[in-house]
Amino acid sequence: MTAPTLATERRIVDEGIVLDTPVMVVDESILHQNIAEMQSFANSHAVALRPHIKTHKTPQITRLQLQAGAAGITCAKLGEAEVMVAQGGADDVLLAYPIVGEPKIHRLLALMERAHVIVAVDTREAAAALSEAMAANERVLDLYVEVNTGQNRAGARPGDEALALALDIARMPGLNPIGVMTHEGHAGSSAPDAIERTALAAGRAMVETAEAMRGAGLPIRVVSVGSTPSSPYTPTVPGVTEMRPGTYVFNDNNAFRHGRIGPDRCAARIVATVVSRPAPDRAIVDAGSKALAYDPSPSHAGHGYIVGHPDAILSRISEEHGVVLLPEGEAEFAVGDRHEIIPNHVCPAINLTDELTVVRDGRPIDVWRVAARGMVR
């Protein structure tokens, strides 16, 4: 998995195909390769793969992941899960997010009629409300206790704090803590040479926390870890049983900085047209923050990677304009020229589009609806 040289960079849409732009295209063969390789990695480490569907939000891709061998799926929000159970063939769903509030608890109960649902929990308050609803409806809910291994977002601290929380939850009627989970996103945000070390430390903290819970009598059978950048490392820690990467299906510009992939492993790209060339060193493309999202790249200049043009920098975006700074002599940015842009962060970019245009050998073969787009509830 070394980064390819620029000579191997290729467009995924044939130059001769006219698509109205900006448009999100997905190369079928890269998508299949990304799904197969992650499944193969999980299998080789005897770890269950429960991919996070927030990246693609597309039922057809959930089906591809399940057909490849995924043990279930991960969703952030109930709305995503409802779509994937109804349309994506999912029957085993982790909601890797606290469920808080009466409207959501009602929807959770309805979803539990249609699929095995596991919910992440990291507070006694959220657990108590779930317990009350489960007991009232004579249901038992499987839970993962969320542990903060360093991202400092949600989650109880590893060790005693997580153990105390798990014990309290286990005493609540209708709740069944079966696992621990973490999102070690801080590994991917650390310096490239620190990712492995940070990820392994997170994995070990999780296994130790699970052991402590087992020692206290809790039947914890799942140790679940997350994130694509850390995916080569955390799941290799003995005792980790499940991995939940998301971005790997497409990859993105931020994945470059981890040094594991090149543009040719990036399945999702925005085809954009040069709509103005106001100065020799400046071109305007028709993709801005409403197509690419505004997410920064931690290490690369600009708002996306223009395939085949590493020196052309997408230096500024406004809502519908991308301002490209061009090196001297760059000849392929005349008005009407089209380019493929790999977003910095593919997940929010996919969440801006209603459809993915699927491409095989450079030609569109299908359009998939991003059915869970905008499902923030």
Range 70-89, binding its own copies (CB under 8 A): 76-77
**Closest among 357, 359, 324, 361 to 341, alpha carbons compared:** 324
Does 123 sit near its own copies (CB under 8 A)? yes
- Residue 101 as a binder of its own copies (CB under 8 A): the answer is yes
Query: Which residues lie below 8 Å from residue 80, measured CB to CB, with a gap of 6+?
Result: 53, 54, 57, 372, 375
Tokens of 127: 């657990």
For its own copies, the binding residue among 353, 357, 358, 371 (CB under 8 A) is 353
Question: Residue 68, interface with its own copies (CB under 8 A)?
Answer: no
Residue 234 contacts residue 150 (beta carbons within 8 Å): no
Element of type H or E holding 285? strand 282-285
Q: Does 312 bind its own copies (CB under 8 A)?
A: no
Residue 292 one-letter amino acid: L
User: What gap in Å lies between CA 319 and CA 322, rounded to an integer?
Assistant: 8
Structure tokens at 310: 């590493």
d(CA 200, CA 249): 23
Q: Given the complex with its own copies, which of 135 and 275 has the nearer CB atom? A: 275
Pair of tokens at residue 25: 């295209």
Pick the stretch among 2-10, 21-29, 63-71, 305-313 that binds its own copies (CB under 8 A).
21-29
Q: How far is the C-alpha of 94 from the C-alpha of 61, rounded, in Å?
A: 17
Number of residues that bind its own copies (CB under 8 A): 62
Q: Is 11 in the site for its own copies (CB under 8 A)?
A: no
Q: Is 155 in a helix, a strand, or coil?
A: coil
| Residue 354 phi, psi dihedral angles, 5° rounding | -85, -20
- 102 lies in the site for its own copies, by CB under 8 A: yes
CB of 67 to its own copies, least distance (A): 26
Give the tokens for residue 58.
Answer: 């597309």
Shortest Å distance, C-beta 291 to its own copies: 5
Stretch that binds its own copies, among 81-89, 147-155, 167-175, 356-364 (CB under 8 A): 147-155
One of 287, 342, 358, 371 touching its own copies (CB under 8 A): 287
The CB-of-315 to its own copies minimum distance in angstroms stands at 10
117 lies in the binding site for its own copies (CB under 8 A): no
Where in 178-217 is the site for its own copies (CB under 8 A)? 185
Q: Bridge-partner residues for 343, per DSSP?
A: 304
Report the residue count for the chain: 377
Q: Does 271 bind its own copies (CB under 8 A)?
A: no
Which residues lie near its own copies (CB under 8 A)? 18, 20-23, 54, 76-77, 97-98, 100-104, 122-123, 125-126, 129, 148, 152-156, 185, 273-278, 282, 284, 286-287, 289-291, 293-296, 316, 318-321, 323, 334-336, 347-348, 351-354, 374, 376-377
